[in-house]
Amino acid sequence: MYAILYQFSDMLKVFKREVYTSLFVIDYFCYMNVIKQFFNFYINSSIHVALSVFSLTWLTLLELHLDYNEAVLYFVFYGTITGYNFVKYFGMAKFRHRKLARWLKVIQMLSFICFLLMVYYAFYLQRQTFFYIVGLGGVTFLYAIPLSINKPYTLRNISGLKVFIIALVWTGVTVFLPAINAFNEINSVVLLTGIQRFIYVLVLMIPFEIRDLKYDNLELSTIPQKLGIKRTKILGFFLLLAVFLLELLKGRTSNYTNTIILLVLLAITFLFVLYSKIKQGRYYSSFFVEALPIIWLLLVLMFL
């Protein structure tokens, strides 16, 4: 009798241990699933790309020896979230308003709040900056909205133009906007920085362009479609080399530490371009590549 009870007691202990282990595993996976959902929301809601644009704008302030400008930086941050979400989700929100997924409704709400905050910080910008913002806003609008009713083509659908428009807008926002707000003019240093930034953003787009090869219509004539993947990566190397050479042209305006940091960043960027492929990880471009400007800013602030 005691032997049976003892055996039953052991079985009960094993059962309890298995139950606790199973509950722990279930809790762990639930916890990881929640983290994954928050992370996906962070990416899909354009917060990550907004931090990248924010970082490049702050880098411009540092490079031009301008004071930290909260109005400019937060206007850029909230404006990027508003603009990117408008471009990405305008079609979905327009045609499926009543059947929107829950996550898309949350992104819509976030975008509206960011729009209000963008407007708030816009009132703290200089008057001359408003005319410039209208121009950038117009380009963003036409990037998502068809140019005419009869021809449902947006700026991003024009052959070979998509990546250059993105680089142009990023450059306009991260370089020329803070410069115009501070100086109301474009001097040689600002112009060099603008050219540099335009080229660098073009290179940042290469992993995205390679990833999207299987989705992009041939009429888009993207760089990988025209040159092929291998030649596109070679082009990326020479474009990064041009970014570094432009840094040397700045002379006294660029210090030794920042030049070394830039060289390290360009090397890391090239590695991401080099290992880009059509079947890449989900977060390879959307998180890691877009995190490079953030890393750049952190390195500069670390050695400031």
User: How many helices and strands in the chain, by DSSP H and E?
Assistant: 12, 0
Q: What share of the chain is helix, strand, coil (3-state, %, to 5)?
A: 80, 0, 20
The per-residue pLDDT for range 46-72, each reduced to its tens digit, is 999 999 999 999 999 999 989 999 999
Question: Looking up tokens 């829950």, which residue turns up?
Answer: 102
Q: Token pair for residue 70?
A: 């909260």
The per-residue pLDDT for range 226-275, each reduced to its tens digit, is 999 999 999 999 999 999 999 988 765 567 888 899 999 999 999 999 99
Distance CA 240, CA 260 (A): 14
Distance CA 263, CA 94 (A): 44
Residue among 293, 222, 214, 223 at smallest CA distance from 261: 293
Residue among 168, 139, 164, 144 at smallest CA distance from 154: 144
The per-residue pLDDT for range 192-230, each reduced to its tens digit, is 999 999 999 999 999 999 998 888 777 778 889 899 999
**In the chain, domain spans:** 45-302
- Please give the model's pTM, rounded to 2 decimal places: 0.86
Percent of the chain with pLDDT over 70: 81
Q: Which residues contact 278 (CB under 8 A, 6 or more apart)?
A: 210, 211, 213, 214, 229
Distance CA 135, CA 176 (A): 12
